[in-house]
């Protein structure tokens, strides 16, 4: 009874406040005509809608204000001219380093009036091959080429030639390619412990595999009423997720890493989950530091909140599935983990297939259906495609199938054993060098190096002069080596460790010395607060790749080695 009395008191108080509010509104509108009241209501409503649309956008308000401020600053005559001058210098540097030809060479800008003979074409090819200066065959390049074995290459060339004209868009015409693609997917599902309902498709590479997963989960989110789907992923996740968010109108929410382990902060990921979350993401391993994210912990969140979870194994997928049999067991990361609904893995990396092949796998066919595109009303007939492309190169699929069949489980296990042992050796030795450290505890093939004593990009420059071609990273500044079969060749790892020791010793004699050359460019790029400038330079870089103009002489503005690496 006492509770009923308290409820009546609260009810009376609410009614009193409502009555007072009504009286105040009426008193203020007593001298207004009906059209004024209606007009004020319409204007207020439209204003509220505009404010909501302005404030609540995919890009945060502070970010948009920041961009606007930088745009206004660049409109100041002296400042804008000076910035543009520096940008032009950077673009000239890139042009001279990327587009330099050997003496006597020129660009072909139109079709030859008469077709060349096969021998003439092959002579031209030999001429183009002389432009290669990086000797990747000797194991001096991080990642990029994951084997390059001559006998395997000969097999791939033969198989590709046999299927060069095939196209899986026409399964009735090329049934052999259809069978091979289905078998590539099924073998991959088996490797990642997929059940009888697991499935997938072959794609053109890791980016397309990631795009397809994001597209599927976006459409699933739309179906359950989510207007602004979000991808929840570690800050270390591959940039393909940024591309997917950009292409598909999604929002990528980055989750911070644990500063010691460099794994995603699971508690922070839990806090970031909301009604718009369309998918959770882990990397196995992530590209920058080679660290395995805690798949089991994140999967528990996926199950608890009923959210699809994607495991990005594009880089190391065809290593981690063989590591247990190679003597390097890992925590569960695949479809054995409840909550994992999709996995991307590149067959053209440690699967040793030719470039242009990857797989996207799902735990159940219901997820793959959201990946498909169907146009049932096209005049050309019912159009259906499994991924982004319509026509696809059957030769690449055939070569991928041939690689997997030729390698077999024993071949993959042996290669994995050599690569992981080499990476562990490099990690152990580099960690003992005074002045540098290894990020986290990498378990697969990537070893990332940083320094608290000097600018790590100085070491990058120094190793470049010794013939090494490493990956430079940012936020935080670091470099990494991605070990491949080529690094397992006799003496390669020892030479790398020796060069790192020697160059660090030299740098530590004057650790505060300024960085020059490409190292300075990388350092500057991550320190620029106006990221639109970095975007502008990057677009210039892409433009350079398609340039058919001979680079101008004496345009190098860099202090130091200007070679892109």
Degrees, nearest 5: CA angle 119-122-127: 130
List Cβ<8 Å contacts ≥24 apart for 467-473: 467/135, 467/140, 468/140, 468/141, 468/142, 468/496, 468/499, 469/134, 469/136, 469/140, 469/141, 469/142, 469/144, 469/565, 470/142, 470/565, 471/142, 471/143, 472/518, 472/519, 472/522, 473/288, 473/289, 473/448
Residues 6+ apart with CB under 8 A from 122: none
pLDDT digits (tens, 9 = 90+) for 331-378: 999 999 999 999 999 999 999 999 999 999 999 999 999 999 999 999
Partners of 383 in beta bridges: 375
Residues 6+ apart with CB under 8 A from 452: 437
For residues 473 and 557, give the distance between their C-alpha atoms in angstroms, rounded to a whole number: 23
How far is CA 189 from its chain centroid?
Answer: 22
CA proximity to 319, closest of 427, 400, 414, 195: 414
Contact predicate 333/185, CB 8 Å: no
For residues 531 and 69, give the distance between their C-alpha atoms in angstroms, rounded to a whole number: 12
Report the mean per-residue pLDDT for the chain: 90
Please spell the DSSP secondary structure of 96-122, one letter per residue: HHHS---TT-----S--SSPPPHHHHH
Query: Comparing 557 with 204, which gets the higher pLDDT?
Result: 204
pLDDT digits (tens, 9 = 90+) for 247-260: 999 999 999 999 99
Rg (CA), the chain: 29
3-state secondary structure of 288: coil
Q: What pLDDT does residue 29 have?
A: 82
- Give 27's pLDDT tier (boundaries 50, 70, 90): confident
Of all helices (H) and strands (E), which one includes residue 233?
Answer: strand 230-234
For residues 112 and 525, give the distance between their C-alpha atoms in angstroms, rounded to a whole number: 42
Entry pTM: 0.86
Half-sphere exposure of 520 (CA within 13 A, CB side): 14
> Does the pLDDT at position 563 exceed 60?
no
Total residue length of the chain: 565
pLDDT digits (tens, 9 = 90+) for 178-220: 999 999 999 999 999 999 999 999 999 999 999 999 999 999 9
- Give 25's pLDDT tier (boundaries 50, 70, 90): confident
Q: Calculate the alpha carbon distances from 51 to 43, 47, 59 in Å.
A: 12, 6, 15
Percent of the chain whose pLDDT exceeds 90? 70
- Give 557's pLDDT tier (boundaries 50, 70, 90): very low
Residues 6+ apart with CB under 8 A from 466: 499, 503
| Burial classification of residue 503, based on how many CB atoms lie within 10 Å of its CB (0-12 exposed, 13-18 middle, 19 or more buried) | buried
Residues 6+ apart with CB under 8 A from 489: 138, 139
């Amino acid at each position: 009874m006492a509770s009923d009395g308290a409820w009546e008191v609260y009810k009376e108080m609410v009614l009193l406040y409502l009555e007072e509010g009504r009286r105040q509104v009426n008193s203020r509108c007593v001298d207004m005509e009906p059209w004024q009241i209606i007009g004020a209501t319409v204007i207020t409503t439209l204003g509220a809608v505009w404010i909501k649309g302005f404030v609540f956008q995919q890009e945060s308000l502070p970010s948009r204000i920041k961009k606007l401020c930088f745009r206004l600053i660049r409109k100041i005559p002296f400042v804008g001219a000076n910035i543009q001058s520096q940008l032009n210098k950077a673009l000239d540097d890139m042009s001279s380093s990327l587009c330099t030809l050997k003496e006597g060479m020129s660009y072909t800008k139109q079709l030859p009036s008469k077709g060349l003979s096969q021998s003439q074409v092959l002579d031209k090819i030999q001429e183009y091959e002389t432009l290669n200066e990086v000797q990747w065959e000797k194991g001096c390049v991080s990642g990029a080429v994951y084997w390059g074995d001559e006998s395997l290459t000969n097999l791939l060339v033969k198989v590709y030639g046999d299927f060069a004209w095939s196209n899986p868009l026409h399964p009735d015409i090329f049934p052999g390619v259809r069978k091979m693609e289905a078998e590539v997917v099924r073998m991959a599902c088996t490797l990642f412990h997929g059940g009888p309902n697991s499935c997938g498709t072959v794609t053109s590479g890791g980016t397309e595999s990631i795009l397809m997963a994001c597209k599927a989960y976006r459409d699933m989110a739309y179906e359950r009423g989510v207007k602004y789907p979000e991808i929840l992923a570690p800050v270390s996740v591959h940039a393909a997720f940024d591309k997917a968010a950009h292409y598909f109108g999604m929002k990528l929410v980055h989750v911070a890493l644990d500063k010691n382990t460099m794994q995603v902060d699971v508690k922070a990921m839990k806090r970031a989950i909301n009604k718009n979350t369309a998918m959770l993401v882990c990397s196995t391993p992530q590209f920058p530091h080679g660290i395995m994210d805690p798949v089991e912990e994140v999967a528990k969140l996926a199950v608890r909140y009923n959210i699809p979870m994607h495991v990005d194994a594009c880089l190391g997928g065809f290593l981690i599935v063989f590591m247990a049999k190679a003597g390097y067991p890992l925590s569960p990361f695949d479809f054995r983990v409840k909550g994992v609904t999709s996995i991307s893995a590149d067959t053209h990396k440690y699967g040793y297939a030719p470039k242009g092949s990857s797989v996207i796998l799902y735990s159940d066919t219901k997820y793959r259906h959201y990946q498909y595109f169907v146009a049932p009303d096209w005049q050309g007939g019912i159009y259906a495609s499994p991924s982004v492309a319509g026509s696809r190169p059957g030769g690449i699929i055939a070569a991928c199938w041939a690689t997997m069949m030729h390698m077999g489980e024993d071949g993959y296990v042996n290669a994995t054993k050599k690569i992981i042992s080499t990476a562990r050796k490099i990690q152990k030795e580099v960690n003992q060098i005074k002045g540098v450290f290894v990020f986290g505890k990498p378990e697969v093939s990537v070893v990332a190096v940083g320094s608290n004593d000097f600018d790590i990009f100085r070491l990058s420059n120094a190793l470049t002069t010794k013939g090494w071609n490493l990956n430079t990273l940012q936020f935080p500044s670091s470099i990494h080596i991605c070990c491949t079969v080529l690094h397992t060749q006799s003496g390669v790892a020892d030479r790398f460790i020796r060069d790192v020791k020697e160059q660090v010793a030299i740098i530590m004699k004057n650790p505060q010395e300024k960085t020059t050359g490409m190292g300075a460019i990388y350092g500057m790029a991550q320190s620029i607060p106006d990221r639109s400038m970095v975007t502008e330079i990057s677009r210039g870089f892409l433009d350079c790749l398609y340039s058919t103009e001979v680079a101008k002489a004496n345009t190098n503005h860099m202090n130091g080695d200007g070679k892109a690496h």
